[in-house]
Amino acid sequence: MKELEQEEWRDQLSKDDNAAILDVRTEEEVEEGYIPNSKNIDIYKGQGFIDEVEKLDKDKNYYIYCRSGKRSAQACSILDQLGFANTYNLEGGFMNWDGDTIEG
């Protein structure tokens, strides 16, 4: 896992042809808005989260965010343990995101 500040995360993501964006917030949080092209898998679903994540392509680079950066850091650790090659945590999370968003 790498911790990336907002600008680094956005810049690296824009140049990454093998990127996938993961939103690990709750459905209620997603309804308030989300980053375009992100896939929502709620980390609070416990084993359900792991089951969903196991279906993902482990060779992709995962850019992960939550509301503040704490749950996404946990998600990065889980993905790392499951054998995912590259995970990037968005420091400060969606709260501090100043890039494009879509209303939920």
Percent of the chain with pLDDT over 70: 100
Q: Give tens-digit pLDDT for 56-68.
A: 999 999 999 999 9
Q: Which of 21, 22, 66, 90 is catalytic?
A: 66
Answer whether 29's CB lies under 8 Å from 65's CB. Answer: no
Check: pTM over 0.85? Answer yes or no: yes
Q: Please, what are the domains in the chain?
A: 2-96 (3.40.250.10)
Contacts 24+ apart (CB under 8 A), 51-55: 53/78, 53/79, 53/82, 54/82
Our answer to whether residue 66 is catalytic in this structure is: yes
pLDDT tens digits, 13-39: 999 999 999 999 999 999 999 999 999
